[in-house]
Amino acid sequence: MQQSPSILYASNLKKSYGTVEAIKGINLNIQGSGVYAILGQNGAGKTSLIKCALGLEKITSGTLQVIGSAPGTLQAKRQIGVILQDSDLPDLLTVKEQITLFASYYPTPFSVEKTIEMCALEDFADKRYKKLSGGQKRRAQFALAIVGNPQLIFLDEPTTGLDIEARRNLWAVIRDFAKQGKTIVLTTHYLEEAENLADRIMIMNSGIIVADASPSEIQKQSKGSVIRCETSTSYEVLQKLTGVSSVSISGRFSEIHSTDVNQSLSEMLSLDPNLKDLTVNQPKLEDVFGRLSQGVK
């Protein structure tokens, strides 16, 4: 089978700012279309990775290629759309004027009208950028990221500050893009966003990718199950049962994380045959993420 070409390729990539090592050796090979989410705590290195991929920051060592080209070359730029975390735009142009200007940078852009419609910007397309609200500015920036009909789109925290409707609209456009064969690399602090959108989730922690998998695989990486019930058995006793790795109390419920759910449950039932409202679930992505981003593998 023929391998699809690499869209984003990194090999032992490192980036330091003076003595701060923001990226400490990343290997990455994103091939083909889809949505790739990068999660990670503040300062994990997400924006640094995107800035290096855009050629806005020079890498310190290793290899980095974007659509087969070196970052920052004209060839790469004409195939890439982007929202940066701290993007800002000229105040005095209207949204429509900005979109028209950006469309002119690309070889096969969408029409300005189609872009305004896709991004639901009709209500403020003729307003000057400086008169927009924070969320409206973000939506205008998104339009500029897609107007060029690029192969690869980097979105650094694209939905920060958006209301629910605007966020859902943006998700729909992103999904549509992925279906059309585009590659979207986005960073987010919202697990719901990664779970809803991403085909693959990467978790960064202190400049390293500590997990790289589909949302369901990442859930599976966290072994065991979460038993939740109302029980008269005390926290101290629950902690000592076979297979139990942690216990937490949430309102009237005890939550027991166990790697041997059958044995833990049978011991719990013999201690308290009247335990109520029992559920057994896989740990949530949020729990797994919390453990992985603290470096616990």
Ligand X SMILES: Nc1ncnc2c1ncn2[C@@H]1O[C@H](COP(=O)(O)OP(=O)(O)OP(=O)(O)O)[C@@H](O)[C@H]1O
Residues found near ligand X in the complex (CB under 6 A): 17, 20, 22, 40, 42-48, 85
- Pairing, β 225-230 against β 276-281: antiparallel
Nearer to ligand X, 43 or 161 (CB): 43
Nearer to Mg ion, 16 or 69 (CB): 16
Smallest distance from ligand X to CB 144, Å = 20
Q: Could you please report the per-residue DSSP string of 224-249?
A: SEEEEEE-SS-HHHHHTSTTEEEEEE
> Which of Mg ion, ligand X, none does residue 43 bind (CB under 5 to 8 Å by kind)?
ligand X
> Given candidates 60, 85, 196, 282, which one binds Mg ion under the rule CB under 5 A?
85
Smallest distance from ligand X to CB 160, Å = 10
> Which of ligand X, Mg ion, none does residue 20 bind (CB under 5 to 8 Å by kind)?
ligand X
User: What are the strands of the beta sheet with 253-258, ordered from one edge?
Assistant: 244-250, 253-258, 225-230, 276-281
Residue with tokens 């070359």: 73
Residues 6+ apart with CB under 8 A from 104: none
Burial class (CB in 10 A: 0-12, 13-18, 19+), 72: middle
Nearer to ligand X, 207 or 283 (CB): 207
> Which of ligand X, Mg ion, none does residue 233 bind (CB under 5 to 8 Å by kind)?
none
Smallest distance from ligand X to CB 251, Å = 31
> Which of Mg ion, ligand X, none does residue 184 bind (CB under 5 to 8 Å by kind)?
none
Residues 6+ apart with CB under 8 A from 195: 215, 285
Tell whether residue 47 is a contact of Mg ion (CB under 5 A).
yes
Tell whether residue 41 is a contact of Mg ion (CB under 5 A).
no
Q: How far apart are CA 39 and CA 145, in angstroms?
A: 20
Residue 24 identity: K
Counts of helices then strands in the chain (DSSP H, E):
11, 13
> Which of ligand X, Mg ion, none does residue 155 bind (CB under 5 to 8 Å by kind)?
none
Smallest distance from ligand X to CB 45, Å = 4
Q: How far apart are CA 227 and CA 252, in angstroms?
A: 14
Smallest distance from Mg ion to CB 73, Å = 24
Smallest distance from ligand X to CB 83, Å = 13
Q: List contacts with Mg ion (CB under 5 A).
A: 46-47, 85
